[in-house]
Amino acid sequence: MNKIEKKRLLKVRKNISKKRPHFKRFESWRFVRIKDQWRKPRGIDNKMRT
């Protein structure tokens, strides 16, 4: 694999990852203390879990 092909493949990977949705942590927009990074909801009544 040469440099040109490697650059092209990296560009393709970047474009594909742009299309992926960004999952935010449940109710992170409501509270300052909760960060945006994704944490799996474990509560049985949580609507994000289903």
46 phi and psi angles, rounded to 5 deg: -70, 130
pLDDT category at 6 given cuts 50, 70, 90 is very high
Tens of pLDDT, residue by residue over 13-48, are: 999 999 988 888 888 889 999 899 988 888 888 887
- Residue 9, pLDDT above cutoff 90: yes
pLDDT at 24: 86
pTM for the model stands at 0.48
Residue 26, C-beta contacts closer than 8 angstroms, at least 6 positions apart: 39, 41, 46, 48
Of 42, 40, 41, 38, which is closest to residue 21 (Cα–Cα)? 38
According to the model, what pLDDT value does residue 2 have?
A: 92
